[in-house]
Amino acid sequence: MPKPRTRYVCQECGRVSVRPLGRCPSCGAWNSMVEEVIVPETGSKTASGGTPLTSAPRRLHEISGDVEERLPLPIAEFARVLGGGIVPGSIVLIGGDPGIGKSTLTLQMALRMAALGPVLYVSGEESERQIKMRALRLLRSPAGETLPMPSDLLLVTETNLDAILRHVENVKPRLLIVDSIQTVYRPEMSSSAGSVSQVRESASRLRELAKSSGIAVFLIGHVTKEGAIAGPRVLEHIVDTVLYLEGDRFQAYRLLRSVKNRFGATSEVGVFAMGERGMEEVPNPSEAFLAERMVNAPGSAIVVTMEGTRPILVELQGLTSPTSFGNPRRTPNGVDFNRLLLVAAVLTRRVGVRLGEQDIFVNVVGGLKITEPAADLAVAAAIASSVKDRPVRADAVLIGEVGLSGELRSVSQLDIRLREAAKLGFKAAIVPRRLRRSLPWPEGIEVLEARSLRQALDLAQVQKN
């Protein structure tokens, strides 16, 4: 009988050490190394001392190259992010802040998928009754009547992984949902549920289940303050697909984003709005994000941002107001703080817009988060427009990265962005000057090229006439 071993696992990054350490050598966190006892498995070994073989190498040309068949998922925005439907035997992680709508969206999926075969929904977070109440809400039709409950959706509240696996054996579902992976534990491990080692071991076991049985497994995971699932990013390596559900809790829009996908494109997004009856699909996000726009108001600029392969028009708002006390504040909502500082500095130094005694607020309407520098120009225009109290040309979109010398730098996929802007009726686009002029600009929109931020602001009618 092999002896149990002790090891120490960092709760922040998952680093394993055989010695107890006060500080994690990988991520530098203090007091994060937690003791864990591993009882080695007493599996049979072959005469050669190796593991018995359950796999066999196959010749590449013998392996079928057909695209995997997928279970059709009748929620188009969700299916788009998965790269089609649900791949049998795949394991998907859905992460996001608490209360953002992960359970709601997965229950909606479960209700739809239960029409095709048994679905097992394992919850360690909510009672069966709570889930039933939610399901009733999701099944209400716009007219107010309740749609029929599918008979093949099974619920169980369980957190012991062995018990969950036994339920799976009995139910034989096509789809298994575990809400959430942080509540699941393997009883033979000493660490508590939600710890790095428990989460990782449970997820690995569920992965084996998916691969061996062909059941599609969806894990729900909470994001910690640092933005990584379960503290470390350990889970991301175990699963096939990682989706994040993001959005502002106080706004309706929710973005489902794929950050890893073995079966489709990454950084694809699906757009939803949280409503009375759960997450409703938003097939035309640009229209939705611009719906409440006040045309000709100072401090507003429209940018076309790429979310995966999809262009989305969003409004950026800037507001400046004289600093009343202490240091001027810079408050971004939906754009990166450091990009805002950079844009403000370039506006001051290269364009001559005085911001030294101004508080600056920048807001992305609709709760979207823009991380790409292509939004710099629109951020700059929104701020300059507010300082000067002159509206940005209302029928134009602004696209471009701002460099430290005040130059406007090119961005990717300009064609797709311009076509989307034209589709939504915008007449003009202010973009960085092209170096290569091989292809003509798309039809239906006037493209105004600018070399510098100053020139772009002129074209946007913020600077002079």
Note the residues at the interface with ligand TYD (CB under 6 A). 96, 98-104, 134, 137, 274, 276-278
Question: Which of 103, 305 has the CB closer to Mg ion?
Answer: 103
Q: What amino acid occupies position 360?
A: I
Question: Which of 104, 385 has the CB closer to ligand TYD?
Answer: 104
| Token pair listed for 36 | 């864990």
Question: Which of 98, 227 has the CB closer to ligand TYD?
Answer: 98
Question: Which of 97, 401 has the CB closer to Mg ion?
Answer: 97
- Phi, psi dihedrals of residue 251, rounded to the nearest 5°: -120, 165
CB of 403 to ligand TYD, least distance (A): 39
CB of 200 to ligand TYD, least distance (A): 21
Question: Which of 104, 241 has the CB closer to ligand TYD?
Answer: 104
CB of 211 to ligand TYD, least distance (A): 26
- Decide which of Mg ion, ligand TYD, none touches 104; Cβ closer than 5 to 8 Å per partner kind: ligand TYD
CB of 182 to ligand TYD, least distance (A): 11
CB of 227 to ligand TYD, least distance (A): 15
Q: Which of the residues 93 through 132 are near Mg ion (CB under 5 A)?
A: 103
According to DSSP, the β-strands at 401-402 and 408-409 are: antiparallel
- Decide which of Mg ion, ligand TYD, none touches 442; Cβ closer than 5 to 8 Å per partner kind: none
Question: Which of 100, 335 has the CB closer to ligand TYD?
Answer: 100
> CB under 8 Å to 366, separation ≥6 — which residues?
251, 253, 288, 289, 314, 315
Q: For 404-434, b where at least 16 C-beta lie within 10 A, e where not — what string? A: eebbbbebeebeebbbbbbbbebebbbbbbe
- Decide which of ligand TYD, Mg ion, none touches 28; Cβ closer than 5 to 8 Å per partner kind: none
Q: What is the Cα–Cα distance from 364 to 271, expressed in whole angstroms?
A: 15
Q: CA neighbours within 13 Å on the CB side: how many for 340?
A: 24
Between 128-138 and 102-113, two packed helices, what is the crossing angle to 10 degrees?
Answer: 70
Does the CA dihedral 26-28-29-35 come out positive or negative? positive
- Decide which of Mg ion, ligand TYD, none touches 274; Cβ closer than 5 to 8 Å per partner kind: ligand TYD
CB of 163 to ligand TYD, least distance (A): 22
Q: Which residues bind Mg ion (CB under 5 A)?
A: 103
